[in-house]
Amino acid sequence: MNIATTVADELDFEAEDGSGSAHPLFADAPRSVSFNKLRKRLLRQVRQALDDFQMLKGQKRWLVGLSGGKDSYGLLSILLDLKWRGLLPVELIACNLDQGQPNFPKHVLPQYLRKIGVEHRIEYRDTYSIVKEKVPEGATYCSLCSRLRRGNLYRIAREEGCDALVLGHHREDILETFFMNFFHGGRLAAMPAKLLNDEGDLMVLRPLAYAAEDDLAKFAAAMQFPIIPCDLCGSQDGLQRNAMKEMLADIERRMPGRKDAMLRALAHVNPSHLLDPKLFDFAALMTQSP
């Protein structure tokens, strides 16, 4: 059973022929039954994550990170759809951090966001040059690039009076991170759906935690989002994350449904059956006296 199927079906979706009200960004969306089912599934999964992790508690305004990739476009669209239906009582501001990558099409995101009428901020910071300077040739850019990007997004969230930074990481991102830590870091840790930053003044939220990457790819193609490819991290071959992605895809091909099972496992942890004495007090275990 999909994780999100526990959510009651309270949404008033369009009829099968596509009639009905919706956010303007769906004006040119497909009217097929398959697309409506896909959209409905993503909405239900996001609602489930919002509920499971109490993401709306104490929240009034969110900064939604928009990279120009399929996942962040999907995230923004789903949040706008929920807000249109009165199911997301927070203000949204979309933000793209232009990191100075060569040939980055600066006009694409502002045009798109103006077209759909979304409050937004485009921030220019040349972190690209810093990454290229600091990271040795052949090494992975992702870690430094991510830290620099995250620091700037935190700053912007504060300047915009936001309570949270909302990111488009999905099911596969979480599983890949878990196995990267498992194989290379020697620890059991994934990518949390809700995280308090080190300063304690901002939440980091991942409402797509239950959403499958394949679904987001199909959604992006159907919606014809103006995708902007990454010319930094996305241009590198042989990354550890790519290896994890291939491993998980192979497992899913041979044993369908394993990704959902793995995700459920991350939500059902039994500390007494692991080996961390800091997490469970093994010293306190005693046999019962006769």
**Is the distance from CB of 172 to CB of 244 less than 8 angstroms?**
no
Q: How far is CA 54 from CA 73, 208, 240, in A?
A: 23, 14, 32
162 among the known binding-site residues? no
Q: What are phi and psi of 277, to 5 degrees?
A: -70, -15
Strands (E), 49-169: 61-65, 91-98, 120-124, 164-166
**233 annotated to a ligand binding site:** yes
Q: Tell me how far apart the alpha carbons of residues 121 and 96 are, in angstroms, rounded to a whole number.
A: 7
Please tell me the distance from the alpha carbon of residue 56 to that of residue 238, in angstroms, as a whole number.
Answer: 38
Name, in order, each residue with C-beta under 8 angstroms of 116's C-beta and a sequence gap of 6 or more.
Answer: 23, 24, 25, 80
What CA–CA distance (Å, rounded) separates 1 from 38? Answer: 16
Hey, CA dihedral for 186, 190, 196, 202, is it positive or negative?
positive
Query: How many other C-beta atoms can be found within 10 angstroms of the C-beta atom of residue 51?
Result: 13
- Please report, as a single letter, which amino acid is at residue 2: N
Can you tell me the distance from the alpha carbon of 222 to that of 208, in angstroms, rounded to the nearest whole number?
A: 18
Q: Cα–Cα distances in Å, from 222 out to 193, 214, 219?
A: 26, 12, 5
Strand duo 61-65 + 203-205: pairing? unpaired
Q: Look-up: residue for tokens 């870091």?
A: 185
Q: Is 230 annotated as a binding residue?
A: no
Annotated binding site for [4Fe-4S] cluster: 142, 145, 233
Annotated binding site: 142, 145, 233
